[in-house]
Structures are given as structure tokens and as C-alpha cells.
Amino acid sequence: MVLSRLTLIFILYFLSVSSATNPPPPDAAVCIVGAGIGGSSLAHFLRLYSTPDVDFHIRIFERNGVVGGRTATKIVSVANSVLMVLRYGFSLLKMNTFVQETVGNFLKYYESHESRPIFESVEEMLKWAGLYNLTTTTLGFKLADIGLSPLLINELVTVITRINYGQSVAISGLAGAVSLAGSDEGLWSIEGGNWQMASGLINHSNVALHLHEEIESISFVERYYELNSTKGKSYKCDIAVVATPLDEVKIQFTPQVSIPKRSLQHTYATFIRGLLNPEYFGLDSVSKIPELVGTIEHPDLSFSSISVLKQYDEKDMAYKVFSRKPMSDELLDSIFSLRKETIQINWGAYPHYKAPEVFAPFILDDRHLYYVNAFENAASTMETSAVAAENIARLILSRFFGQPPFSSSRSESNSDEGTLRVD
């Protein structure tokens, strides 16, 4: 009896001494579902912001064989031409001011950590930057309110929102502003494909990447999240992050999580090798058809846009057609005079935006289950995904470790890592 008591005291003494003199380094297993720009940015910012003594084990699960997710290259730059000024007049200037102001507000997310809080919800994040109100009204309403002509709203603006989000000006003012900003000049993409951004971030973040491994369930078991995959494997993680839209994936959560219902806008991308039929466009030769044909909202119009991807020769081109519904062969045969090859892809492309917008939480339970794509109801772009992921990285560091999530030693060295920054 006495002996065992002594032993216990000794053990307690030993434990307290060892933890006082040599505290165990904080460590955490982080599991990220999805290797798109959101998941890869999250890994990057966790590494960038954590102090060197934090020992992260980061796993990223990706159901596909490649990283990058939806990253694709936008096809247009709708430049302001003299013709447009003649047609839309001062309204163009007002539109420009609106877009510049919104972009200016968004740029607040690049302010330093001293002046930029860590946000626990999308609403809070948007309100801080002065962007929240734009999610409560439609783009059409907002633009009319600031005095844009109906002509500009129903033509140019509609064409742009249809190209970028496959939707009308009934999307929220914020998604609309982002869409308009994205049609401006000065947009760039990575030669060889934007997926390389995700790939590069992952390669530099010391991540265990599990390709071809789909996560089927996330369960909170005692102290851990248990992630089970289609490979029949099971992983224990302290922190679990969902970096994909939950609307159309069948991940089973235990306990269940509740998020507001959101539907995705499906965009059909039809790639065609062949030649357009000028007659369909009321023209007498193919060369008169512009490189990009956008469309307005009209029940007879069966596609959102058609653009030239590549010209092999005068009679042999590659095109990309965006539409809300699948394009039938009959329809394609009326639009094209020649079709050598047709490939159709159905994308669950982006949220179906509405106003007022409702947001899912960043924190799905009251512990460490996070949801990057909650931010997608504000807007869906590579940049907004990265900005949302950056906030989640800070949220994790502050909630899990309670540390100020920016180690000063690292912050100094960051400035020369210009090439690694996602802005």
C-alpha cells in the first residue's frame, strides 16, 4: 500500500518536473479534405504563420488523381472600347467606380495582422471590410440604385455575369462586383494551367498528399476526428478542415453538422473542334464572328458564351461553349457547320447566388472542424478561396494553440518570399 502510494507520488513529481523543465512541443495532426486552391492555401498559411516549435502533420486528401480542383482560366477580358462608351455613356464610369470601391474594400484582407482581426464567421469577415451589405441585395438592384442605365445592366453586365457565374444579375451585389472586376484588364493566369498554383503551394508546405483518396466520413471520437476514406483507411486528426463545397459531396459527419441549404450552379462546358456556322449568327462568313460571343438573358438563347480556344487553320478551330443546360446534338448542329470532336463537361461550378445571401459557419462544430468554402457564398474565385483559407489558418492557430497566429520571426523573413505569396 505504502509502496504504491510512494510510486504515485514519485510519478506525479516526475511528471511535474519534466513538464516544467521541458514542455512538450505543441503538435497537431491536421487533415484537409480537398486539394484545390483552398486546401493548398490553407496548408501554406499554416506553415507560414506557425512558430518553428509547432509540429504540424498536415495531410491533404484529394479524390482526384491531380490537385487544383476547379482552377480554370477565365476566358475573357471585356475591354472598354469606344463603341461601348458610345452605347452606355456615363453609366460605364459609374460601374467602374462601383467595382473599384468594392475591390478597394476587398484589399483590406491584405492588411497586416496587427490591424486585421481573425474572423470566426463569414458575416463578421465581410462586415469588417464593408462588403456585407452587398450580399443583401441583388447586383441588378444595386446597379440600378447607383444610377446605371437599364441598357448597361441588361446587356454588358448580364453578359459578364453569365460568362463568369452562368447566372443573371439576380446574383448578389458582391458576387456581381467580383464578376465585373474579373472581366477587367490586368487579369492573369499561369502558363500551363492555374492548377500549378495549388501544386506549388502543396510542394512547398511539407504535406502528405493522398491522391485518389476520397473522404467518406468525419467523426468526432473522444478527442480526435476520425476521417475514413474510400480506400478503407482511417486517419486520426486533431483538426479537420473541409476545403470543398459540401453541397454535392456525400461526407457523413458524426455528430451531424448543420449548414444552410445551398445549391450549386451547374455550368456545362462543351469543347468542340470544328467550325461555327455564320448563318446562325446572321453573318455571311466565319471570320466575322467575334472570338467571344456573350449572350443576354433571353428564353431563346441556349448558351451563355462561345469562345475560340485555338485556331488550327481557317476551317479548323477549337471552341468552348458555356451553357446552363446540356447542349443537344441538334442544337450544336445548328450552331456549328462542322463538328469533328465534341466533349461535354458538367461542372458543379459555383454557388447559385441569391440576395440576401445566407452563410455557412467557418467552424462547423464548437471544436476544430473548419469549412473554408463557407466563404464561397460571398464570391467564388481562386483569390477569395485563398483569402478565406488564410483566415482559417489564423483561426486554427489562435483557437488550437492560443498563440498570436503570426510569429514575428517568420513575419520578417516573409517579405522576401514574394514568389510564394498568393495575392
Ligand X SMILES: *[C@@H]1O[C@H](CO)[C@@H](O)[C@H](O)[C@H]1NC(C)=O
Q: Which of 175, 243, 275, 355 binds ligand FAD (CB under 6 A)?
A: 243
Chain-centre distance for alpha carbon 349: 10
- Segment near ligand FAD (CB under 6 A), from 22-30, 64-72, 128-136, 406-414? 64-72
| 8 A C-beta contact, residue 39 and residue 205 | no
φ, ψ dihedrals at 41, nearest 5°: -65, -40
C-alpha radius of gyration, the chain, whole number: 25
If one counts every other C-beta atom within 10 angstroms of the C-beta of residue 341, the result is 9
Among 124, 155, 214, 226, binds ligand FAD (CB under 6 A): 214
- Cβ contact 291:234 at 8 Å: no
Which partner from the list ligand X, ligand FAD, none does 63 bind, CB cut-off 5 to 8 Å by kind?
Answer: ligand FAD
In this structure, what C-alpha cell is assigned to residue 39? 486546401
Does position 234 interact with ligand X (CB under 6 A)? The reply is yes
Cell 474510400 sits on residue: 230
Element (H, E) at 345: strand 336-351
DSSP at 347: E
The answer to whether 161 touches 168, Cβ cutoff 8 Å, is yes
Do 375 and 242 form a contact (C-beta atoms < 8 A)?
no
349 binds, among ligand FAD, ligand X, none (CB under 5 to 8 A by kind): ligand FAD
Q: Does 34 bind ligand FAD (CB under 6 A)?
A: yes
Q: Binding of ligand X at residue 193 (CB under 6 A)?
A: no
* Burial of residue 315, with CB atoms counted within 10 A of its CB: 0-12 exposed, 13-18 middle, 19 or more buried: exposed
Residues 249-268 that bind ligand FAD (CB under 6 A): 249, 251, 267
In the bound state with ligand FAD, the residue whose beta carbon lies nearer, of 205 and 407, is 205
Q: At 308, is the secondary structure helix, strand, or coil? A: strand
Which of the listed partners (ligand FAD, ligand X, none) does 69 bind, with a CB threshold of 5 to 8 Å by partner kind?
ligand FAD
**39 contacts which partner out of ligand FAD, ligand X, none, CB within 5 to 8 A by kind?**
ligand FAD
List the one residue from 149, 164, 199, 384 that touches ligand X (CB under 6 A): 199
Q: Give the integer Cα–Cα distance in Å for 2 and 5.
A: 5
Between residue 350 and residue 379, which ones bind ligand X under the rule CB under 6 A? none
Check residue 176 for interaction with ligand FAD (CB under 6 A): no
Residue (118 or 207) nearer to ligand X, CB: 207
Segment lying near ligand FAD (by CB under 6 A), choices 47-55, 67-75, 95-103, 104-112 = 67-75
- CA pair distance 16, 33, nearest whole angstrom: 38
Binding mask 80-119 for ligand X (x = CB under 6 A): ----------------------------------------
> Which run of H or E residues covers position 144?
helix 139-145
Should residue 219 be labelled a site residue for ligand X when binding is judged by CB under 6 A? Answer: yes
Residues lying near ligand X in the complex (CB under 6 A) are found at 130, 133, 196, 199-200, 203, 217, 219, 226, 228, 234, 254
Residues lying near ligand FAD in the complex (CB under 6 A) are found at 33-39, 61-64, 69-74, 214-215, 243-244, 249, 251, 267, 269, 347, 349, 373, 380-383, 385
